[in-house]
Structure 1
């Protein structure tokens, strides 16, 4: 029984933590980063301020944690699609398309919060992992003769990521798909 009890408590804590993160992000989108208070977050999350302070000490920490959670979710999605079947070039196309769609779907709120938050080690680490994932696929594709080998993979990875970040500015998925095609065709 104690193990089940601990699992129940941990599940509840995770739900409260997620409610706090989601409430803070929603409030930041509505009122701006500096327009959010701990009291507003507690009210939106449906908890007391004392409970909120048991989880987080300030608004910036909450929003930074929300951003890191989003980055981790996106990286996990990219790793999952990378491990699908196909040649290295096909897997690269799927990863790049997924990345572009993530950039497109999350453009407004992620970009707004990311610009306002001071970058920290966790955020920088997520970008490093993303670069490594893309470089690995580019290297596999180059060794298999599917992708260009005349430019270092580190440069191609940076080019690809920066180009696909533009998807966040597009109005529709058709434009995102065209961008992915342009980037992938430049890697062949």
Structure 2
């Protein structure tokens, strides 16, 4: 039986896979996706090249793991932020802010660029499904508010999130973006937001 580096074979495999993903992330972040080869990953991770395919089937599969790695923690952080608030409006603002806080951690930009250009069709589908899971949180919050146009309200708030994430990725000051997005969401959901101009 091969020597393992953890308390169990399962833990050993999990640690090895994390090491491989760490190595792949570092290569992509420092050198670009074209530098991501099985040999480069194996060398960086300190694992024999003929062993790495025990953990994934291809470099494309490894790239998919890199791109989707942060989604579970991102979704969990947004869910926690939303659940901590007491009113639907505050929960909607928390959804916006929590997404921007996750984006501001610094790795979203290059992961998103990989999603747009370097993933297989099946990997892109997985990314879409993860985004759908995230958006479901906002849909539940807006359903509580029951605005006249719930689908449009969700779409506009999500557009605010997506636009502000792009601004953070492009280097805008996160605190300023957070504040702008929060104010925009609050105005959209204000109790009198659907009233027309005062006729008097």
Specify every segment of 5 or more residues in structure 2 that has no aligned partner in the other structure, as ranges: 1-5, 191-200
Note the aligned Cα RMSD (angstroms): 2.0
Any residues of structure 2 matched to 1:163-182 within 5 Å, and which?
Answer: 163-168=160-165, 169-170=167-168, 171-182=172-183
Moved segments of 4+, more than 6 Å: none
Give 1:73's aligned residue: 73
Give 2:151's aligned residue: 154
Specify every segment of 5 or more residues in structure 1 that has no aligned partner in the other structure, as ranges: 1-5, 144-148
Give 1:124's aligned residue: 128
- Superposed CA deviations along residues 16-41 of structure 1, whole A, max 9, x for unmatched, are 11111121122112222122111111
Number of aligned residue pairs: 176
Any residues of structure 2 matched to 1:130-149 within 5 Å, and which?
Answer: 130-140=134-144, 142-143=145-146, 149=147
Q: Determine helix, strand or coil for the equivalent of 1:47.
A: coil
Query: How far apart, CA to CA, are the structure 1 residues paired with 2:17 and 2:83?
Result: 30
Larger CA Rg, structure 1 vs 2: 2
Q: Determine helix, strand or coil for the equivalent of 1:57.
A: coil
Q: Are residues 110 and 187 of structure 1, via their aligned partners in 2, closer, same or farther at CA, if it must alter by over 3 Å?
A: farther
Under a length normalisation based on structure 1, what TM-score does the superposition of the two structures give?
Answer: 0.83
For structure 1, which segment, 86-95 or 110-119, has the greater mean C-alpha deviation from structure 2 after superposition? 110-119
Contact 1:164 1:179 in 2 (8 A): no
Query: How far apart, CA to CA, are the structure 2 residues paired with 1:50 and 1:184?
Result: 52
